[in-house]
Structure 1
Amino acid sequence: MTFEIWFAFVAASIALVLIPGPTVLLVVSYALGQGWRAALPMAVGVALGDFTAMSLSVLGIGALLMASATVFTAVKWIGAAYLVYLGVKLFRAGGTLSAEPKTDASTALRMGAHAWLVTSLNPKGILFFVAFFPQFIDPHLTFWPQVLVLQATFLVIAFSNALAYAFFASRARGLVRNERVIGAINKAGGSMLISAGVASVAIRSGN
């Protein structure tokens, strides 16, 4: 795996985790209601959930690569186009983040388990990883070392992102409810997704 491919993956991953989806909304809800103590268990739960979803997706990707190199390449192109599509859609999105504080008493284990369930059992997440990961995998190199690097990178980014959202939600509550701030995050994430999609195609075409 080249540094350019890894860097494109990092950029796309950062954009993905920044998107205010179900996982981010859950983290913000707990942080608003429980404060900073929710940050670590939520971040751990999110990381474990992403690991679960990625592991299930990787099994499908590995089977796809073994079955047909042509189909695998086609999936990589479709994945790049999907990144650009999501980037454009996110760039044009508004700045609303509707998260209600979860004020009911919750243990760290319960919060972490809730984050794991929401993150790992989302069918859209599993399907997305199936389309997302292949474009950063070189079929001419050993499969599993590449997967381990990508998984480790994504998990560090997802964990850090959950901590950051929890911190801002508990310490600077106005920011996560500010339409301008969320709108700026959406535009930044959208731009990064578009750039990563285009970059992956450009790097692949140059090989």
Structure 2
Amino acid sequence: MVPIDASLFTAFCLATAVLIMIPGPIVTLVVANSISRGTRFGVASVAGASLGSGLLIIVGAFGMTSLLAILADWFDILRWAGAAYLVYLGIRQWRATPVALANLEPDSGPLKGVFLHGFVVAITNPKTIFFYAAFFPQFIDPTRALAPQLALMSAAFLIIAVSIDGAYAVLAGRLRFIFVSQSRARLRNRLVGGLLIATGIGLAAARRT
């Protein structure tokens, strides 16, 4: 048997891409460093943050394996809660005050320090593990082995995160005007927020079929 459902995995990858586009602490740091100090400093931030995120994903995957094994009878409730959380994130993003990322404060240290700061920002965000616990179960097929699904999803999540954060670093270094305009920031907030709301509602609707 294939270790993961292809349609669920595709939906997971698309939803992951949308979520990672949200300018959180990592994207903020990456953009600020790329704009003010050059693309390689933004890439250093991406590398450090990716290492931190990778460690959290491993911890989260092990935790979910144990949690879902214990709460097997509550699996559907967990997935409903996760869908509601995605809608909440979408509403919050839609209503968020637009911030021109180019105006944010960059790191002032050497390249090694920028890498370390990216790692610290990723590893010390307490919302991250909660997010993984709410998001990943939405795309798990309970009829298949759990560990292979989590392994593939974790790898895909990290690859997508590195790709999108890296794209932010390159674009911020070369196309600064994209990140200066507050009107563009508002449009980005509305677009990402709308996609998150649609994803959460779509997942909730799928539970009823």
What TM-score does the superposition give when structure 2 sets the normalisation length?
0.89
Matched position secondary structure for 1:155: helix
Which structure 2 residues correspond to residues 20-169 of structure 1 after superposition, within 5 A? 20-97=23-100, 99-102=103-106, 104-107=108-111, 109-169=112-172
Q: Using the alignment, how far apart are the partners of 2:99 and 2:19 within structure 1? A: 17
User: Which residue type is aligned with residue 46 of structure 2?
Assistant: A
Aligned pair count reads: 205
Q: Using the alignment, how far apart are the partners of 1:48 and 1:64 within structure 2? A: 24
Q: Using the alignment, how far apart are the partners of 1:167 and 1:31 within structure 2? A: 7
Cα contact 1:15–1:193 (8 A) shared by 2: yes
Describe the shift of the 1:94–1:140 C-alpha distance in structure 2 as closer, same or farther (beyond 3 A).
Answer: same
Alignment-derived partner of residue 196 in structure 1: 199
Question: Could you tell me how far 1:180 is from its partner in structure 2?
Answer: 1.8
Cα contact 1:95–1:178 (8 A) shared by 2: no
Identity of aligned residues (%): 35
What TM-score does the superposition give when structure 1 sets the normalisation length?
0.89
Query: Any gaps of 5 or more consecutive residues in structure 2?
Result: none
Cα contact 2:5–2:141 (8 A) shared by 1: no
Cα contact 2:91–2:193 (8 A) shared by 1: yes
Matched position secondary structure for 1:133: helix
Question: Could you tell me how far 1:110 is from its partner in structure 2?
Answer: 2.4
Cα contact 2:30–2:168 (8 A) shared by 1: yes
User: Which residue type is aligned with residue 4 of structure 1?
Assistant: S
